[in-house]
Amino acid sequence: MITTIFEDKFLEGKKQGIAKGKAEAVLDILKMRFKKQVPQSISNKVLSIRDSIVLSSLTESAMTCQSLKDFSEDL
């Protein structure tokens, strides 16, 4: 099937949106677990990740890490 430039851009945007949603979920988990604002340095790193597999791994890490420092070592 031949895709158009529009379809390619649409799919690219969809993937970026999914990645952004996963990254925001990781940050929400950290904020809820540790009852404080996530440091900007961690937020920036997480939000810059576009790989869905890496973000899934970070979701697990966010749920199981003992501290924000431990999480940041997984980045």
pLDDT digits (tens, 9 = 90+) for 7-57: 888 888 888 889 899 999 999 999 999 999 999 999 999 999 999 999 999
Q: Which residues contact 34 (CB under 8 A, 6 or more apart)?
A: 67, 68
CA distances to 21, 34, 70, 71 from 53, in Å: 13, 24, 20, 16
Contact indicator for 16, 49 with CB cutoff of 8 Å: no
> Average pLDDT, stretch 47-71?
96
Question: With bands split at pLDDT 50, 70 and 90, how would you rate the model's confidence at 74?
Answer: confident
pLDDT for position 3? 66
Per the model's pLDDT, the better-predicted residue between 57 and 6 turns out to be 57
Contact indicator for 51, 59 with CB cutoff of 8 Å: no
pTM for the whole structure: 0.84
